[in-house]
Structure 1
Amino acid sequence: MTRILFVCHGNICRSPMAEFVMKDLVAAAGAADRFEIASAATSAEEIGNGVYSPARQELARHGIGCAGHAARRIRREDYDRYDYLIGMDRANLANMRRMWDGDPAGKVHALLEFAGRGGEDVADPWYTGDFKATWRDVLSGCQGLLQRLEEQR
């Protein structure tokens, strides 16, 4: 079982989009039983909230649901539980490493690293309102991650 945790600031836009896109991709590949996929926030601002309406609408445009999501904050024990801890931007990555006293096992990654765009941040629709750009970034990152995991299998 491969365990993946996607992380953004509030866990209402980018990281849940990545969570549900990745769940959709692994289901389409017939591999859902080999993965545990979740998402979380680095902040406490949105704890308990569902996916932000425009993000939910963008997922729905692509046939992906996100019912039942409730934002949560990363916890210290997440580092041991998950194999991949995937941040959406540099600030998320810094906050993740701070929470987990670094990254001794090399589990922390930027999502776009898997799309061959290391060093780039996933577009943040909270500020731009451009959920299509976020969709494109999330999809390419998740497709690249799944491809890498399948190659390593």
Structure 2
Amino acid sequence: MIKILFVCHGNICRSPMAEFVMKKLVRDLRDSNPQASDFEIASAATSTEEIGNPVYPPARRMLARHGIDCSGKTARQMTVADYNHYNYIVLMDQNNLRNLRWILPRDIYEQELAQYRDARESAHIQDARDSQAGKVSLLMDWAGKNRDVADPWYTGDFEATWQDVNEGCTALLQHILKNS
């Protein structure tokens, strides 16, 4: 089973959008190929400030506009158990990477950070990710872009976030299918 955890600061905008976009991509894949791998997909926060809150209304409306229902999703914080459980820990931005230091044991955090930085220095992040043992990545790296997912909390531009999330999730899924 392929297990993916998407992570952002509050788990009310970007990471739930990525969670539900990836779930839709996987559903579509399974519709055309019932033998496709099983997936477990979730999202979480690095902070505690939004725990228990639903997906932010503009993010929920953007998903609904594209036929995706996220009802019932509430924010939760990532745990060490999540790190141990998931194959892929996919972050939305560099701040999320730094904030993992408050969640993961120091030795695991430092190892993941070193492996991530080694991969990031590669000209082709996907090629480097194929050869490393780390679980942590940034979503836009999978699309070959050295930048964060647009944060609609500050910009109000949920369309830009939608585009980034779709591009990153599609590229991540292609990587997984190629390597599974």
Bin of the TM-score, shorter chain as denominator length: over 0.9
**Amino acid in structure 1 at the alignment position of 2:141:** E
**Separation in structure 1 between the aligned mates of residue 147 and residue 102 of structure 2, nearest angstrom:** 20
Q: For residue 27 of structure 1, what is the aligned residue in structure 2? A: 27
Q: CA deviation at 1:125?
A: 0.2
Q: CA deviation at 1:99?
A: 2.1
Query: Does 2:13 align with 1:13?
Result: yes
Could you tell me which of 88, 94, 118 is aligned with 2:98?
94
**Separation in structure 2 between the aligned mates of residue 8 and residue 99 of structure 1, nearest angstrom:** 13
CA-based RMSD: 1.4
TM-score by length of 2: 0.81
Q: For residue 74 of structure 1, what is the aligned residue in structure 2? A: 78
Do the aligned partners of 2:2 and 2:40 also contact (CA within 8 Å) in 1?
yes
**Separation in structure 2 between the aligned mates of residue 129 and residue 65 of structure 1, nearest angstrom:** 21
Q: For residue 140 of structure 1, what is the aligned residue in structure 2? A: 167
Q: CA deviation at 1:96?
A: 1.9
Deviations 1:97-151 (A, max 9, x none): 442231274000000011111x300000000000000000000000000000000
TM-score by length of 1: 0.95
Do the aligned partners of 2:46 and 2:78 also contact (CA within 8 Å) in 1?
yes
Could you tell me which of 48, 57, 63 is aligned with 1:59?
63
* Gapped regions of structure 2 (runs ≥ 5): 116-132
Percentage of identical aligned residues: 60
* Structure of greater Rg: 2
Query: Which portions of structure 1, spanning 4 or more consecutive aligned residues, are displaced by more than 4 angstroms?
Result: none
Instruction: Report the structure, 1 or 2, having the larger helix content.
Output: 2
**Amino acid in structure 1 at the alignment position of 2:28:** A
* Gapped regions of structure 1 (runs ≥ 5): none
SS at match of 2:70: coil
**Separation in structure 1 between the aligned mates of residue 142 and residue 148 of structure 2, nearest angstrom:** 12
